[in-house]
Copies of this chain bind each other. A is one copy, B any other.
Amino acid sequence: MYKAPVEEIAFTLNHVAGLSDALEIGRFGDLSPDLVDAILAEAGRFASDEMAPLGDIGDRQGARLEDGVVKTPDGWPQLYRHWREGGWNGLTAPEAFGGQALPHMLNVATLEMWNSASMAFALAPTLTMGAIEALVAHGSDDLKAIYLEKMVSGEWTGTMNLTEPHAGSDVGALKSRAERHADGSYRVFGQKIYITWGEHDAADNIIHLVLARLPDAPAGTRGISLFLVPKFLVGEDGSLGERNDVICHSIEHKLGIHGSPTCTMIYGDGKFGDGTGAIGYLIGEENQGLACMFTMMNNARLAVGMQGVAIAEAATQKAVAYASDRTQGRAPGSTGPQMSPIIEHPDIIRTLLTMKALTQGSRAICFACAHAIDMSHHLEGDQATHWVERAALLTPIAKSFATDCGVDVASLGIQVHGGMGYIEETGAARYLRDARIAPIYEGTNGIQAIDLVLRKLPLSKGAQVRTFIGELRDIAQRVESLNAPGFGSTAERLNASIDDLQASTDWLLEAQASGRVAEALAGATPYQRLFGLVLTGAYLAKGALVASEDGSGEKRVSLCRFAAENMLSETAALKDRVIAGAESLEAARIVLA
């Protein structure tokens, strides 16, 4: 059974991602290290003891649609109530609306634990938090006054309605429409698909944020507006009124995250209300909906990255436990008649260490991204700009690298279990099924790679990424200076990989500058993975440096060395794909014709 790795999470937050330094100089007001530890410990307890036991049943039962009502798995409504009563939903929300205004770093740390315990369950608050952010950033004071407090407390959940059958990655193609109404509200019509927790029985109201077009809107992405459409209409005093004209038409039969209802929502078809459409309220300005939605989406991308970390962590724990217990064959050097625990076989050791390194690397990348977001909120001027850019640069890497790791680590976890891994009751297969959506939603990892290469590398004319690479060089330099034998060839390996990153970055910036966009795009995905791998190596080294200085770090140092000497050699191949792969890719298009 999953046990939240509270100590590892705290270490990574504090010593790799920068929380400790930030606390020391008072960047987060009077937030103390002790309070951080207490929050993490309590989250760990809740996730391990209360949430994880209900994860399996959620997978087996799934969400069920009965007469337009979605029933969540047995025990989930109570679990949700306990969870929100713990104050977890409003960790980062403004105090004015009942939130705790804590750093995002703490929120992603707790998100990891909720997702390890049950990714399907954790999706509900993940979407609510995104809706809160959009409303805080763009909503009118009236809307905020009516909706935010109950959303922050978690009494009401939120959703995000972008996708339509022919408008997925290409949001600009959406067709849902909205009409202005005499009273200043709007009427919304249309069908939305893949709406996570679009309908359920765990909260009193559901606040849908819906993208739609006004009749006179320009075509494409510049003609999209964002509307708040509550399931139940809300009086000015916050009381629940009539049912709004929005229904869940069906829920999807998915590979995983069975407990999370993925809904097709229909707005304004006349099932409820007076037949004039679903009543909605504009968020932000007309035709500026996409900018509002991006507020949600950016943090949602990091939250999805945390799903990858979470599944990788849970899958690794399960595999290590199984491999310690299961005996088969005799490991090299074993004596006596007994079979060896499979954790002593070199191939299993390689697999488990790879799982550990990917998990810790992904975690560090995501936490570093959250740190950048926090810094951007707590600093001003050029410093704020720097951190906004850093968060922007890290977001696609965090989302894609961590979610790919989630899938890869879950798959390796099945393999460690042998035949048992293929049996559903074991639970290893669920991790792969759940993990597999994360590289897809919130922008496929291919879309993230396009974003990284076309929009993030050019930030500050390339200065942001170059500064970042310089920081990674410093880490390698510190390993080199320390010259401790436990690190093996870490410094040399890490430097070589940073060279690969540097060369690929330069090549991509040059390709774009000279108008060779297709060539840059051909290398976008290998580049994204290259960046993630280098960060994994660098952050493991950063943690190992801290740990080695206080003498407690033999394990960290040896894992860092394993990653450097067994995983970083992949970066040369990735660089090669980036800078030398595009021509043959273009030439081979005929294969697909």
Interface residues of A (CB under 8 A from B): 163, 166, 168-170, 173, 193-194, 252-256, 320, 323-324, 327-329, 332-333, 339, 343, 345-353, 356, 407, 411, 414-415, 418-419, 421-425, 429, 432-433, 436-437, 439-441, 444-446, 449-450, 486, 488, 517-518, 521-522, 524-525, 554-555, 558-559, 561-562, 564-566, 569-570, 572-573, 576-577, 580-585, 587-592
A-B contact pairs, 17 of them (CB 8 A): A168-B418, A253-B425, A255-B414, A255-B429, A323-B592, A345-B521, A347-B524, A350-B585, A415-B444, A418-B444, A429-B436, A558-B591, A559-B591, A562-B584, A565-B581, A569-B576, A573-B573
State whether A169 touches B433 (Cβ < 8 A). Answer: no
Closest beta carbon of chain B to A364's beta carbon, Å: 16
| A437 partner residues in chain B, CB cutoff 8 A | 422
Closest beta carbon of chain B to A507's beta carbon, Å: 15
Closest beta carbon of chain B to A556's beta carbon, Å: 8
Look across to chain B and name the residue whose beta carbon is closest to the beta carbon of A580. B565
Using A424-B253, A436-B422, A584-B561 as known contacts, say yes or no to A555 and B446 having CB atoms under 8 A apart: no
Which residue of B343, B345, B440, B570 contacts A421 across the interface (Cβ within 8 Å)? B440
Look across to chain B and name the residue whose beta carbon is closest to the beta carbon of A337. B219
* Bound CA–CA A102/B525 (angstroms): 45
* Bound CA–CA A572/B568 (angstroms): 12
State whether B577 touches A558 (Cβ < 8 A). Answer: no
State whether A592 touches B343 (Cβ < 8 A). Answer: yes
State whether B576 touches A169 (Cβ < 8 A). Answer: no
| A173 partner residues in chain B, CB cutoff 8 A | 328, 339
Closest beta carbon of chain B to A87's beta carbon, Å: 32
Which residue of B333, B486, B587 contacts A562 across the interface (Cβ within 8 Å)? B587
State whether B429 touches A415 (Cβ < 8 A). Answer: no
Using A255-B429, A569-B576, A587-B562 as known contacts, say yes or no to A521 and B347 having CB atoms under 8 A apart: yes
| A581 partner residues in chain B, CB cutoff 8 A | 350, 565-566
Look across to chain B and name the residue whose beta carbon is closest to the beta carbon of A582. B346
Closest beta carbon of chain B to A308's beta carbon, Å: 14
| A411 partner residues in chain B, CB cutoff 8 A | 407, 411, 436
Closest beta carbon of chain B to A593's beta carbon, Å: 8
| A450 partner residues in chain B, CB cutoff 8 A | 347
Using A585-B562, A588-B559 as known contacts, say yes or no to A422 and B440 having CB atoms under 8 A apart: yes
State whether A588 touches B163 (Cβ < 8 A). Answer: no
Q: Which 9 A-B pairs have the closest CB atoms?
A: A332-B518, A569-B573, A558-B588, A562-B588, A255-B429, A569-B576, A347-B446, A346-B522, A346-B521
State whether A561 touches B588 (Cβ < 8 A). Answer: yes
* Bound CA–CA A521/B330 (angstroms): 13
Which residue of B170, B327, B348, B570 contacts A339 across the interface (Cβ within 8 Å)? B170
| A565 partner residues in chain B, CB cutoff 8 A | 580-581, 583-584
State whether A169 touches B440 (Cβ < 8 A). Answer: no
Most chain B beta carbons < 10 A, residue from A163, A327, A558:
A558
* Bound CA–CA A445/B433 (angstroms): 21
